[in-house]
């Protein structure tokens, strides 16, 4: 089948009548799950000429894939330095290059002629919660020189010129990262896959698979399917077809809210047009629809209704941008991401003809596109680049205990990020005060006509004993205001736990 790029109509991209699989079917490839991962594989495989059937238990993009922000960056959920530590520089560099290819695939899919009104715009800013200028330089060098990724370092002043908050310090600007309407993209992808020849069946949960023979059998409540290859792209909800696989993922629900229109003032306070993410992965936001703020922050390891988090999104916005005042949240959404123990996605062949593509965590746009290409090309062309993911085996996520631990680790991460941020801001204020005091002292000396006095040689100056700072002295004393702020930053206080 030839690679055709025809545009997706509104009807195709939006809701259409759902087709359920009600008859037995044969296909080359059966994909389980119509999220970003399943549809990316279906699209790539259909473009390469395979007959593909996608079976979706509910409807296209009902979980994370249809409820996400649409920011597309290179890399993985696992930070680059940890990736290098884990597998070495050479392999990390190849994986990074694959992740960039994934981002470019998304860009090509989301081109105006394929997905009109998808709202593609360039530029993502990653900001630091702490004053880490020295670390920034080595990160920039590594990305630019070793990983061939265009990035710009922004000094604190430049970051604060576009984001009116003292919460953020330095920034890394990715001019080639971009964003699309995250909630529409998955429907555009489904339409492109259909155009390429893939068949998508919704309301069709897969209840069991038999992957032992050359032709594998897939069972749904009302029909059976036979295929040479099965791709498991069900994320945390896969369940019965291979329960052991679902158990290697720690489910993390993420939630986001959109404010009511905020008018011109939002542009005075947030002058950056693209997505902003903080380097600790706590907040992620951008302006949408002209003057509304879309903000992702809360997370849990248990399912909850996104509406419950309107208050905590609101408080997060107020604590970062107090000048915005009291904003109203008019919409909330969210979904479950699958987090692996090692932080890297699960991509590869479990046994002959049985493939897996899941565990994309919080960074699923570029990585699922990349997985689609790797798996489709391996099945149809015999490429073996997916083997770069072999060091990241399937590791049990710890069941309920793992979830509790995950929640605690998440809370600890957020709390320590908040504490580090508070400390960094305290140091910054202390430096300003020091400079002011020195300037006042110099001014007073000038006025009194005194300069530093020379002592006769051999006479040592007497130094007044300085009080020794206690180990904890650098930490800002907790004022009522801070106490309130820290209180708001603690996810448990945001009603995160069930
Ligand atoms: C609030 C939020 C914001 C995010 N923002 C971004 C962002 O800006 N950029 C980014 O890169 N990533 C982002 N992500 C992460 C991204 O959304 C996910 O990594 C990605 O959507 C995962 O896709 P998936 O296809 O693996 O899983 P899913 O979206 O969960 O899709 C899996 C599908 O499989 C189906 N399924 C499961 N089991 C079966 C079965 N047995 N039979 C049939 N069907 C089955 C499910 O019904 C589901 O539809 C965000 C996530 C959230 C929640």
Per-residue pLDDT, averaged over 303-328, amounts to 96
Q: Which amino acid residue places its CA nearest to atom 33 of ligand 1?
A: 33
pLDDT score, position 2 = 34
Q: What is the dihedral of CA 442, 445, 449, 453, to 10 degrees?
A: -100
235 CA from centroid of ligand 1 (Å): 7
Question: For 287-296, 391-400, 414-423, 456-465, which range has the lowest pLDDT when averaged over its residues?
Answer: 456-465
Q: Using one digit for the tens of pLDDT, what is the confidence trace for 192-232?
A: 999 999 999 999 999 999 999 999 999 999 999 999 999 99
197 phi/psi in degrees, rounded to 5: 115, -5
Distance CA 475, CA 125 (A): 28
Decide if pLDDT at 12 tops 90. no
Residue to substitute in 40, 174, 303, 335 for testing ligand 1 pocket (most ligand atoms within 8 angstroms of CB): 335
Identify whether the C-beta of residue 187 lies closer than 8 Å to the C-beta of residue 61: yes
- 381-437 pLDDT, tens per residue? 999 999 999 988 776 666 666 666 666 666 666 666 676 777 677 777 777 777 787
State the pTM of this model: 0.83
10 has a pLDDT exceeding 80: no
Report whether pLDDT(463) > 60. no
* Digit-coded pLDDT (tens) for 57-106: 999 999 999 999 999 999 999 999 999 999 999 999 999 999 999 999 99
Choosing from 362, 367, 369, 410 the residue with most ligand 1 atoms within 8 A of its CB, the one to mutate for a pocket test is 362
Stronger pLDDT, 11 or 446, i.e. the higher one: 446
The domains of the chain, with CATH numbers, are: 10-66+183-249+342-397 (3.50.50.60), 121-179+256-339+398-434+480-498 (3.30.9.10)
- 218 Cβ below 6 A of ligand 1: no
Q: How confident is the model at residue 471 (pLDDT cuts 50, 70, 90)?
A: very low
DSSP assignment of 365-390 equals: HHHHHHHHHHHHHHHHH---GGGGGT
Q: Which atom of ligand 1 is least distant from the CA of 336? A: 53
Phi, psi of 188 (to 5 degrees): -65, -40
């Amino acid at each position: 089948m030839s690679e055709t790029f025809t545009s997706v109509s509104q009807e195709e991209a939006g809701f259409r009548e759902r087709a359920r699989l009600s008859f037995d079917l044969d296909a080359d490839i059966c994909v389980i799950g119509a999220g970003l991962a399943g549809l990316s594989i279906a699209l790539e495989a259909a473009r390469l000429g395979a007959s593909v059937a996608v079976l979706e238990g509910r409807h296209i993009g009902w979980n994370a894939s249809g409820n996400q922000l649409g920011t597309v960056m290179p890399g993985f959920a696992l930070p680059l330095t940890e990736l290098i530590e884990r597998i070495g520089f050479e392999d990390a560099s190849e994986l990074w290059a694959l992740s960039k290819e994934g981002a470019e695939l998304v860009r090509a899919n989301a081109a105006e002629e394929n997905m009109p009104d998808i709202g593609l715009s360039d530029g993502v800013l990653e900001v630091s919660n702490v004053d880490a200028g020295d670390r920034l330089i080595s990160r920039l060098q590594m990305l630019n020189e070793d990983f061939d990724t265009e990035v710009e370092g922004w000094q604190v002043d430049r970051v604060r010129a576009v984001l009116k908050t003292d919460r953020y310090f330095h920034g890394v600007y990715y001019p080639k990262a971009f964003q699309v309407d995250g909630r529409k993209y998955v429907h555009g992808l489904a339409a492109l896959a259909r155009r390429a020849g893939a068949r998508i069946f919704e309301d069709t949960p897969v209840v069991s698979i038999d992957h032992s023979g050359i032709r594998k059998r897939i069972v749904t409540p009302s029909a059976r399917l036979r295929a040479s290859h099965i791709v498991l792209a069900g994320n945390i909800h896969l369940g019965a077809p291979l329960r052991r696989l679902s158990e290697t993922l720690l489910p993390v629900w993420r939630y986001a809210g959109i404010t009511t229109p905020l008018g011109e003032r939002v542009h005075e306070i947030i002058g950056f047009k693209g997505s902003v993410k903080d380097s600790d992965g706590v907040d992620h936001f951008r302006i949408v629809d002209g003057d509304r703020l879309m903000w992702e922050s809360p997370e849990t390891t248990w399912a909850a209704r996104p509406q419950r988090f309107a208050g905590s999104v609101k408080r997060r916005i107020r604590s970062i941008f107090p000048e915005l005042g009291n904003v109203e949240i008019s919409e909330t959404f969210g979904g479950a991401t699958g987090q692996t123990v090692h932080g890297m996605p699960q991509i590869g062949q479990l046994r002959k003809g049985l493939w897996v593509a899941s565990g994309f965590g919080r960074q699923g746009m570029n990585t699922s596109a990349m997985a689609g290409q790797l798996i489709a090309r391996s099945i149809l062309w015999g490429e073996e680049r997916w083997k770069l993911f072999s060091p990241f085996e399937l590791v049990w996520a710890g069941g309920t205990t793992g979830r509790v631990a995950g929640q605690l680790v998440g809370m600890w991460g957020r709390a320590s990020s908040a504490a580090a941020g508070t400390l960094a801001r305290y140091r910054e204020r202390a430096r300003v005060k020091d400079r002011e005091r020195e300037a006042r002292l110099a001014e007073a000396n000038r006025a009194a006509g005194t300069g530093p006095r020379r002592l006769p040689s051999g006479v040592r100056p007497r130094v007044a004993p300085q009080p020794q700072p206690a180990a904890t002295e650098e930490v800002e004393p907790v004022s009522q205001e801070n106490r309130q702020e820290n209180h708001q930053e603690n996810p448990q206080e945001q009603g995160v736990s069930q």
